[in-house]
Amino acid sequence: MAVSTIYSTQALNSTHFFTSSSSSKQVFFYRRQNNRRFNTIITCAAQQTVVIGLAADSGCGKSTFMRRLTSVFGGAAEPPKGGNPDSNTLISDMTTVICLDDYHSLDRTGRKEKGVTALDPRANDFDLMYEQVKALKSGIAVEKPIYNHVTGLLDAPELIQPPKILVIEGLHPMFDERVRDLLDFSIYLDISNEVKFAWKIQRDMAERGHSLESIKASIEARKPDFEAFIDPQKQYADAVIEVLPTQLIPDDNEGKVLRVRLIMKEGVKYFSPVYLFDEGSTISWIPCGRKLTCSYPGIKFNYAPDSYFDHEVSVVEMDGQFDRLDELIYVESHLSNLSTKFYGEVTQQMLKHADFPGSNNGTGLFQTIVGLKIRDLYEQLIANKATAPAEAAKA
Ligand SMILES: Nc1ncnc2c1ncn2[C@@H]1O[C@H](COP(=O)(O)OP(=O)(O)OP(=O)(O)O)[C@@H](O)[C@H]1O
Ligand SMILES: O=C(CO)[C@H](O)[C@H](O)COP(=O)(O)O
């Protein structure tokens, strides 16, 4: 196959080479960076990929959320078959989840040498992220780099085919304006410092053998960059899940009971916020103790319109935790606009993953609801695309 170079451009410390086949529908382009080559291969542009962004700091529940989301679409999400065992990618029939850590341009040693954290934009390659997400969105396969969390090195790239739904999760899905504009829906997991600390201790001490002092030091070291580069992304999110200490226990410092707020932007295409009882009203609801078993400190819901970074939003809030997950159906029956396909689907999903962290509180409930809203958004987008050519032909 005759392949000719069309042009190359110099950007940052990398060079882009665009090449195309003279005879087929295929187009290849590749980029050299730090003596490594990243290929992009056009395979088929018939399908368009829906792109979802999920932003949060490390250890804030992104993986758990992803497992709930992919389960809504059915099928198990697994790393690419026969690929790098340390791949961060998860693929199921409908979804591909890529971790944006793979766009770290500096490896662990490189960051140490330059004195920057992984949260710093200078440690990440936004040009490549943009090119590859754009390519996948338009049906083009890419060879994406892999950041190996075991070795701290950048491994050989892996081939990613365009999926029906691409989820880009990590520290910076909404940081770069070009990438942000590619998102069909975006979510930010906003975990308050107190709760983040409790979760980190639970995971990094129990599962990774870190000391309390080293966990505290790592949180403190990341704070300035978190505040400068990660946290501001929440202003762009279509949905924010905010996790705070409970208000039901005065001066609680255990961080076990949580107050969780689902903040939903109004006016987002294909997304209509969930509401409690009466859309647009302000409601405070303590569910009946006979219909929903709840031990101390109980459960309280709130629902109200609000404003968030100058955007009109609806907020549903749950403080407290469920004792019996099967009774969640009582709460589900009082929520509207859930985008379920049958009565009780939220409860069914929650029961299916009762062992996931957060299944007894608002984190699991709202992650499940956002998963169902994303399925609905995907179905509307696809249906709209299918009718668009017919409509255009009629005009
Ligand atoms: N809703 C929750 N309730 C309680 N604990 C939680 C919840 N979500 C996550 N955690 C705790 O935080 C840890 C990290 O969760 P998870 O692996 O989903 O986060 P992550 O953002 O993907 O992390 P990383 O980016 O570091 O891989 C879990 O092991 C668990 O201890
Ligand atoms: O914030 C992170 C993303 O979740 C990690 O700290 C970052 O990716 C660097 O990884 P590692 O600590 O394994 O070198």
Q: Taking 70 as the threshold, does the pLDDT of residue 21 lie above it?
A: no
pLDDT at res. 376: 97
Q: Taking 90 as the threshold, does the pLDDT of residue 393 lie above it?
A: no
Instruction: Tell me the residue type at 97.
Output: V
Tens of pLDDT, residue by residue over 365-384, are 999 999 999 999 999 999 98
Residue indicated by tokens 């050299």:
32
Tokens at 73, concatenated: 């679409």
Pocket test for ligand 1, best of 97, 117, 119, 199 (most atoms within 8 A of CB): 199
For residue 177, is it left (φ>0), alpha (ψ between -120 and 50) or beta?
Answer: alpha
The ligand 2 atom at the shortest distance from the C-alpha of residue 119 is 1
Proportion of the chain above pLDDT 70, given as a percent:
86
Question: Is residue 26 lining ligand 2, measured as CB closer than 6 Å?
Answer: no
Pocket test for ligand 2, best of 88, 101, 114, 222 (most atoms within 8 A of CB): 101
- Kindly compute the dihedral angle of the four CA atoms of residues 91, 96, 101, 103, in this order, to the nearest 10 degrees: 120
Q: Return the minimum-mean-pLDDT range out of 251-255, 320-324, 337-341.
A: 251-255
Q: 41: closest CA among 157, 141, 187, 168?
A: 141
Question: Is residue 311 lining ligand 1, measured as CB closer than 6 Å?
Answer: no
End-to-end CA distance of the chain: 41
Q: 374: closest CA among 168, 233, 189, 187?
A: 187
As a whole number, mean pLDDT of residues 48-75 equals 93
Question: Is residue 360 lining ligand 1, measured as CB closer than 6 Å?
Answer: no
pLDDT at res. 295: 82
ipTM field: 0.95
Q: Taking 50 as the threshold, does the pLDDT of residue 17 lie above it?
A: no
Tokens at 72, concatenated: 């809504």
Q: Where residue 207 falls among pLDDT bands split at 50, 70, 90?
A: confident
Q: What is the DSSP string of 108-128?
A: HHHHHHHT--TTSGGGB-HHH
Q: 320: closest CA among 297, 286, 290, 289?
A: 297
- The CATH 3.40.50.300 domain(s) of the chain lie at 47-189
Rounded Cα–Cα distance for residues 344 and 323 (Å): 18
Q: What is the DSSP string of 85-102?
A: TT---EE-SSEEEEEGGG
Q: What is the CA radius of gyration of the chain?
A: 22
Instruction: Check if the beta carbon of residue 135 is closer than 8 Å to that of residue 129.
Output: no
Q: 70: closest CA among 94, 42, 43?
A: 94
What is residue 360's DSSP assignment? T
Going by their DSSP bridges, the two strands 185-191 and 239-245 should be labelled as parallel
Å from CA of 64 to ligand 1 middle: 6
Question: Is residue 108 lining ligand 2, measured as CB closer than 6 Å?
Answer: yes
Q: What is the pTM of this model?
A: 0.88
Tokens at 223, concatenated: 């704070």
pLDDT at res. 339: 97
CATH of domain 47-189: 3.40.50.300
Q: Where residue 145 falls among pLDDT bands split at 50, 70, 90?
A: very high
Q: Taking 60 as the threshold, does the pLDDT of residue 23 lie above it?
A: no
**Chain-centre distance of CA 341, in angstroms?**
23
Rounded Cα–Cα distance for residues 96 and 160 (Å): 9
